[in-house]
Amino acid sequence: MGNSMDPVHIEHTADTTHVALEAALGIRDARALHEKLNTVLAAATAIVIDGSRIERLDAAAMQVLAGFTRAARQRGLALTWHSPSPVLQQAARVLGLEIILEMAS
């Protein structure tokens, strides 16, 4: 918990959970990201992920996002991306995670 900045900000409304990802997500953020996203799954509402701020992320963060997307789908939760940044889209493409992340165009 030594990080001064949360990797994600979560806001709940009546029927939707909004998840805003920070600009830089790396291996040091992976555990906190995973724990925060698990709370989103527990809320069992529709999920909107804002990836517009992402400027840098690594494979560990992408793996957490892929696992989260898969878990949301298994629970039958609607998940949509809001403005995924070009960096996020490129990382998904390079790592072959577009379909798992439901970002395929």
DSSP 84: -
* Whole-number average pLDDT of the chain: 92
Predicted pLDDT at 38: 95
Domains and CATH numbers, the chain: 8-94 (3.30.750.24)
CB under 8 A, 24+ apart: contacts of 12-20 = 12/43, 12/45, 15/45, 15/46, 16/45, 16/46, 16/47, 16/48, 17/43, 17/45, 17/46, 17/47, 17/48, 18/48, 18/50, 19/47, 19/48, 19/49, 19/50, 20/50, 20/53
Q: What is the mean pLDDT of residues 77-97?
A: 95
pLDDT tens string 15-41: 999 999 999 999 999 999 999 999 999
Q: What is the mean pLDDT of residues 58-78?
A: 96
